[in-house]
Chains A and B, each alone.
Chain A
Amino acid sequence: MRNSNQPIFNRRNLFGATAAGLAASSLAACATSGSDDEVDDVTVGDDAENPFDVDGSAPLDVVIFDGGFGNEYAVAHQEIYNRAFPDAVITHLATQAIAETQQPRFAEGKPADVLDNSGAQQIPMDSLVSDGELAELTPLLDAPSYDDPEVTVRDTLREGVLTSGTFNGEVYALNYVFSAWTVWYDAKLFRDQGWTPPTTWEEMVALCPQIVEAGIAPWTYAGQHPVYLYDLLLILAGKHGGVDVLKNIDHLEPDAWRHESVVKAAEALAALYTEGYILEGTPGIDHIQSQTAFNERKAAFIPCGSWLPNEQASIAPADFEYMPMGVPPFDGSVQPGLISAGGDEPFVVPKNATNLSGAYEYLRIMLSKEGAQIFGDTVQAATIVKGVELDNPAAQATDALVSNPDDLFQPQFRFWYTKMNEEVRPALGSLLSGESTAAEFIDRMQTVADETAADDTIEKFHHED
């Protein structure tokens, strides 16, 4: 069989094979090739009806995170867009796999026009921003609002809601949903037991023995996701020492974590464990299990976001009365009203979007009175637009907690520095499960903050004032 003297590759088929190989490599090389196309910036024109000069026939590509809020509201927003531009074909993708489906499109230079970059598979905002992949949203904020050409879009928004999407003074994300972090209790349980909802941390601690006596654990939380403790700790510290304590932490100031208010807050949380005020097994359960335990009245307090009552509406017992009480402040707190509240669910416009002006217009529609009310009606959650009416008592009580704009603050280091995020979550987990002391926790966080500050390869961010 092997007596043929013909080489395996003669000239002709070698040429063919090379051509096939080249074709394959050029197809596969898309991830590491491609050029930055020149992008035209969107400007605000004079036409209040169509300030971004949208091409009505251009298609629009919208990607929605299909999580707790679903995607019905987005379909309704797209109908409004089509009302103005009937010829525009809208591609609507609702998915939970944001990074999986959208990251390759960024890498190819062909991203969607509007992207709801949320959920567990969020593409890290800090890397999108430092890579220059996002369009700045000031033109949108300066444009006339959808409902009243005399009022700019910026003026239709609640106070402080742009902060979480602002990176070094430039707005790169529109965090559409307004939410607050608070401690929840069941008003019915408290009424039945004759307990007064505590207004300070000391009152809460004083109440705990009574709660234990009633056979109920005072606290539970999502132990497998210690991020649920992030705002509890920081706001407790911030209330005691004022918001600057938290800003210093965000700015990676030396010894920011060693501030007495932060130490006090860490000690207070650690004491919940050492006093036995946490539902047994809590560090080993996830958010669904902890919320179920709370619904079953096995625990009296749970820290969570303001979406909790809506999320639990069909699960909790019918007589369960979700009530927010904020984070109970220490006696002598400097800023007892402080609350972590602001925008969530970041909508971004990629810089290389094909229909950039259409994307801005779509966001303007989302921020219209009608657009925001659609969201409020479908998912019973507030948006960052002022004046959306919600009819459930928990939402109204939350609204009261966030009434003072000076007290709204979202601790940001977790979003600005991935490395800090990876440290604070396990550190909080250890702190509340008795594996580390408050002093060890503070040391650990100060160390990572110092390392982050010293690392020149990490882009630094800061609050505006």
Chain B
Amino acid sequence: MKHGRYPFILSFLALPVGLYAWLVILPFAQAFQISLTDWSGSSNSFDYIGFDNYVNLFKDERFVLPALRHTGIILVVLPVVTIALGLFFAFMLNLGGRSRQGRIEGVRGSKFHKVVYFFPQVLSVAIVGILWKQVYAPEGFGGLITGALGAVGLPAPVNGFLADKRFVLAAVIGVLVWSAVGFYLVFFSSAMASIPRDIYEAAIIDGAGRFQMFFKITLPLLWDSVQTAWIYLSIVALDVFVLVYMMTPEQGGPDTASEVVGGVIWKYAFKHGEQAFASAIGVVLFFAALSLAVVSLRFGRREQIEF
């Protein structure tokens, strides 16, 4: 029996590993190869030009550098805001309520709130984009926020939020947070549910307030979940493309004010006919994502607490 074990296991692995190699690893490898050429994408001839694409990439003031800046901003803001809000809401819904007969509960109607917060997660990104494009529209064209601001006499951008260089990136990040927060609320809720109640009850007896309970008990015990959320959100941040494509003027405008790395790859590959240059940006993005994951796993490591 022992003799035939490895071929047996290999026969199961061959198909998935083969598919993975063919559909994932090879295209990645090919992107490396293409990034060293001058391939336009609509021809089957090209020349190798060494690392020129990589050199030019960091000189591209028009698209690549703004895109790197914006993606960097999203990378910092999106995880921080989403995790902070997710934790806050999850804490309030699970533990934030008044304690009744020594039992800790969430705020009133927490089950209902959980469902409502999860709604955006159910919508497809395309629908989210169309929806928010209208929410952000100029006042005269049915914009909800501009209209509301105008109604209470506050200044609103006259051309809507998406056509204003100052607000467009923040507007996109706002939608990203809005659509992600519900998921992380549920994610953190389930992690909180696994924290034994007696720890909290002991804390209450010792006179701890909600604030202390959150920072001294909940957050340290949820550290693993926070770390996972951080990596997921970072990957989402690097991938932001669909919302920018759907919502912003000229898919990254006005005047590159909301350009992101994913969008620039698409622009170069399919609108400018510079597939090789696009591949070079893709390779850079690949290494950025990889090092991000490694770094956050390394530095986020903490002692495990068993309970």
Chain A interface (Cβ < 8 Å from any Cβ of B): 4, 6, 8, 10, 13, 17, 20-21, 24-25, 27-29, 31-36, 99-100, 103, 106-109, 121, 123-124, 126-128, 130-133, 223-226, 279-286, 289, 293, 418-419, 422-423, 425-426, 429-430, 433, 435
Is the beta-carbon distance between B43 and A121 smaller than 8 angstroms?
A: no
Residues of chain B within 8 A of A284, CB atoms compared? 137-138, 141, 157, 159-160, 162-164, 249
Q: Does B22 lie at the interface of the complex (its beta carbon under 8 Å from any beta carbon of A)?
A: yes
Instruction: Output the least CB separation between B107 and chain A (Å).
Output: 38
Could you tell me if B138 and A285 are in contact, using CB atoms closer than 8 angstroms? yes
Do residues A24 and B40 form an inter-chain contact, with CB atoms below 8 A?
no
| Complex interface: chain B residues within 8 A of A289 (CB) | 137, 141
Cross-chain contact B44 with A99 (CB below 8 angstroms): no
Contact status of A36 and B255, CB under 8 A, knowing A24-B26, A225-B249, A422-B62? no
Given contacts A27-B22, A223-B249, A224-B163, are A429 and B43 in contact (CB under 8 A)?
no
- Distance in angstroms from A69 CB to nearest chain B CB is 22
Q: Please tell me if the beta carbons of A281 and B158 are within 8 angstroms of each other in the complex.
A: yes
A222 to chain B, nearest CB (A): 10
CB pair B42–A28 under 8 Å, yes or no, is no
Cβ–Cβ contact B137 & A127, under 8 A:
no
What residue of chain A has the Cβ atom nearest to residue B7's Cβ?
A: A13
Whether the pair A32, B273 counts as a contact (CB closer than 8 A) is: no
Find chain A residues with CB under 8 A from B140 CB.
279-281
Q: Are A99 and B270 in contact (CB under 8 A)?
A: yes
A121 to chain B, nearest CB (A): 7
Measured in the bound complex, the distance between the Cα atoms of B257 and A426 in whole Å is 10
Could you say which of B18, B44, B163 contacts A35, with CB atoms under 8 Å apart? B44
Q: Which residues of A contact B165 (CB under 8 A)?
A: 435
Q: Are B255 and A430 in contact (CB under 8 A)?
A: yes
Q: Tell me, in angstroms, the Cα distance from A413 to B30 when the chains sit together.
A: 34
Task: Name which of A13, A27, A31, A419 has the most chain B CB atoms within 10 A of its CB.
Answer: A31
A435 to B255, CA, bound (A): 11
Chain B neighbourhood of A283, CB < 8 A: 159, 163, 254
| Distance A100 CA – B270 CA, assembled complex (angstroms) | 8
Q: Which residue of B lies closest to A457 (CB)?
A: B38
Once the chains bind, are B5 and A426 in contact (CB under 8 Å)?
A: no
Residues on the A chain within 8 Å of B26, using CB: 24-25, 28-29
Q: Which residues in B have their C-beta under 8 angstroms from that of A25?
A: 22, 26
Q: Is B50 an interface residue (CB 8 A)?
A: no
Contact, CB under 8 Å: A426 / B40: no
- Sample 14 A-B pairs with CB under 8 A, ordered by A number: A24-B26, A25-B26, A27-B22, A103-B270, A109-B44, A124-B273, A127-B272, A223-B159, A223-B163, A280-B140, A286-B249, A418-B272, A430-B254, A433-B159
Q: A4-B5, A107-B43, A281-B138 are known contacts. Are A13 and B250 too (CB-CB below 8 A)?
A: no
Of A100, A121, A289, A423, the most chain B CB neighbours within 10 A belong to A289
Complex contact A106–B43 (CB within 8 A): yes
Interface size class for chain B?
A: 35 or more
Q: Quote the shortest CB–CB distance from A172 to chain B (angstroms).
A: 13
Residue pair A281, B253 in contact (C-beta under 8 Å): no
A36, A106, A226: which contacts B42 (Cβ < 8 A)?
A106
Contact A128 B42 (CB under 8 A): yes
A24-B21, A126-B273, A426-B253 known; A107 vs B138 contact (CB < 8 Å): no
Chain B residue numbers with a CB within 8 Å of A131 are 40, 42-43, 45
B74 CB → nearest A CB, Å = 21
A444 to chain B, nearest CB (A): 10
Distance between B268 CB and nearest chain A CB, rounded to angstroms: 10
Which B residues from 50 to 90 make CB contacts under 8 A with A? 62-63
What chain A residues lie within 8 Å of B43 (beta carbons)? 106-107, 127, 131-133
Residues of B within 8 A of A124 (CB): 42, 271-273
Contact assessment for A429 and B254 in the assembled complex, using a CB-CB cutoff below 8 Å: yes
Residues in chain B near residue A17, CB distance under 8 A:
10, 14
Give CA–CA (A21, B20) in the complex, Å: 11
B298 within 8 A of A: no
Distance A197 CA – B307 CA, assembled complex (angstroms):
82
Q: CA of A286 to CA of B247 in the docked complex: distance in angstroms?
A: 11
Task: Tell me, yes or no, whether B6 is within 8 Å of chain A by CB.
Answer: yes
Chain A proximity of B286: nearest CB distance (Å): 17
With A35-B44, A426-B250, A430-B255 as contacts: A281 and B160 at CB distance below 8 Å: yes
Q: For the complex formed, measure the closest distance between the CB of B253 and the CB atoms of chain A, giving whole angstroms.
A: 6
Q: Which 6 A-B pairs have the closest CB atoms?
A: A281-B138, A127-B273, A284-B163, A284-B159, A284-B160, A224-B249
**Residue pair B2, A32 in contact (C-beta under 8 Å):** no
Please tell me if B100 contacts chain A, counting CB pairs below 8 Å.
Answer: no
- Name A110's closest neighbour in chain B (CB-CB): B44
User: Pick the contact of B270 from A10, A36, A121, A285 — CB < 8 Å?
Assistant: A121
| Separation of A132 and B45 alpha carbons in the complex (Å) | 10
* Given contacts A13-B7, A225-B249, A33 and B44 within 8 Å (CB-CB): yes
Q: Do A281 and B255 form a contact, CB below 8 Å, given A6-B3, A13-B7? A: no
> Do A6 and B6 contact each other (CB < 8 Å), given the known contacts A281-B138, A283-B163, A426-B253?
yes
Given known A28-B22, A31-B30, contact A107–B44 (CB-CB < 8 A): yes
Residues in B neighbouring A281, C-beta threshold 8 A: 137-141, 158-160
A10 vs B255: C-alpha distance in the bound complex, in angstroms?
Answer: 59
Q: Which residues of B contact A279 (CB under 8 A)?
A: 140
Measured between beta carbons, the chain B residues less than 8 angstroms from A28 are 22, 26-27, 30
Apart from A281-B158, A283-B159, what 9 extra A-B contacts exist at CB < 8 Å? A4-B5, A13-B10, A24-B21, A24-B26, A132-B43, A224-B163, A279-B140, A429-B254, A433-B159
